[in-house]
Structure 1
Amino acid sequence: MENWITETMSTYGYMGIFLLIALENIFPPIPSEVILTFGGFMTTNTAMSVIGVIAVSTIGSVAGAVILYGIGLLVNVNRLEKVVEKWGHILRVSKEDIRRADAWFDKYGVWTVFFCRLIPLIRSLISIPAGMSHMNFWAFLLLTTAGTLIWNTILVNLGAAVGSSWEDIVGYMDIYSNVVYILLVLFFTVFVALFLKKKAGHKKS
């Protein structure tokens, strides 16, 4: 996949970056780290500029995020509740659980969207629950753009700084991603354990 990404960017320049980064947001397995650091490297041996790469990649990233936000609007909480009503006894999830999760996102979702734009993989997927909870679109757009701009600026500048050694940055980002994923799994495990314990306590009382 890395070869396909670099060839597309080398052939189509800014347009290739825009299309790839938009696709990366809709299809997270495409690594933004490769797109952005190679884009930074390209500024050292082509007419492309760091500001141009950052601008194009940010526009493409936000465009992809808006599409996922729209998908979230189509799914929405009401439809999830209908699924839970039918299959909740198997999934061990109730409609009340869905409402609580939605209320949590309403309360903390604004900052969640911003910070999650700095985490690989999740940076794309966070747009779906934002749409499902009907988060204010302009707030979503502002915070998504802000988080994306920070992420893109860092990686493009790193790619430009190290030049032909841009793949080293991708290697370090892989380590960062793995550490983040491990922490998220641990956090999720603790969260589920506490949630089930609390739920069991409610049933006893």
Structure 2
Amino acid sequence: MTETGSWLSALADWTVSLMEVIGPAGAGAAIALESVFPPLPSEAILPMAGLAASRGSFTLVEALAWTTAGSIVGALLLYGLGAWLGAARLRRIAERMPLMQAEDVDRTIAWFERHGGKAVFFGRMLPIFRSLISIPAGVARMPLWRFGLLTAAGSLLWNAVFVFSGYFLGEQWHIVEEYAGILQIVVILAVVGAFVWFVAARLRRLAAARRTADSRD
């Protein structure tokens, strides 16, 4: 068995043990932790809740309700972090970071104010963004009731796919997990590509500004 396989198997065993001790609330607690700590894959946790439901440990409705509640709790914690940071503090942080400017924070907040609803809803279905999207929502102070409803709706759809896979596929839930892994790789590559593009564009802009300043001297 590969190292990754051993790690996922250990995580699955831990999730099952947690659910055996405290029932469906254990699945909710695991998902809340996953929402705050993105490296924990919900794709390996949620099917275990479905598998436990198929074995009669609790009902399918309980599995969906508790895992969605866990997603909301984790999202609210990160929303709170974003609200605590605030736009002013983030501007000061950006000014101290290489290649970053305070205007980058303003542009991000402006974008979120225009597209934040779609970002929160669909972001709940994307690896990495599932967690991180809550922070700009807090920074932009999206109304808490709206953030909660969008998070609940998006999380319920995402969670249902994997809970049902565990419920109906049983030990073969890895079939769905493999496709989710491909999606995660695509998202990571897109993030890396966007970061490289940002750095290259910012370096070109700084070089152009330097040449303009030199020509004036």
TM-score category of the 2 structures, normalised to the smaller one: 0.7 to 0.9
Q: What residue in structure 1 maps to residue 174 of structure 2?
A: 167
Q: What residue in structure 2 maps to residue 67 of structure 1?
A: 77
Secondary structure class of the residue paired with 2:73 = helix
- Is 1:76 matched up with 2:86? yes
One-letter amino acid matched to 1:5: T
Counterpart Cα distance in 1 of 2:111 and 2:197: 17
Q: What residue in structure 2 maps to residue 36 of structure 1?
A: 46
- Is 1:143 matched up with 2:147? no
Counterpart Cα distance in 1 of 2:99 and 2:198: 15
How far is 1:122 from its partner? 1.8
Among candidates 108, 122, 125, match of residue 118 of structure 1 = 125
CA RMSD of aligned residues (A): 2.2
Q: Which has the higher contact order (CA 8 A, sep 6+)?
A: 1
Query: Would the aligned equivalents of 2:31 and 2:45 in 1 still touch at CA under 8 Å?
Result: yes
How far is 1:17 from its partner? 0.9
TM-score of the aligned structures, taking structure 2 as reference length: 0.83
How far is 1:197 from its partner? 4.9
Counterpart Cα distance in 1 of 2:54 and 2:120: 33
Counterpart Cα distance in 2 of 1:194 and 1:5: 44
Secondary structure class of the residue paired with 1:43 = helix
Among candidates 109, 112, 122, match of residue 105 of structure 1 = 112
How far is 1:57 from its partner? 0.6
- Gap runs ≥5 in structure 1: none
- Is 1:57 matched up with 2:57? no
Q: What residue in structure 2 maps to residue 9 of structure 1?
A: 19
Query: Would the aligned equivalents of 1:114 and 1:144 in 2 still touch at CA under 8 Å?
Result: yes
Query: Would the aligned equivalents of 1:33 and 1:173 in 2 still touch at CA under 8 Å?
Result: yes
How many equivalent residue pairs?
A: 202
Secondary structure class of the residue paired with 2:54 = coil
Q: What residue in structure 2 maps to residue 128 of structure 1?
A: 135
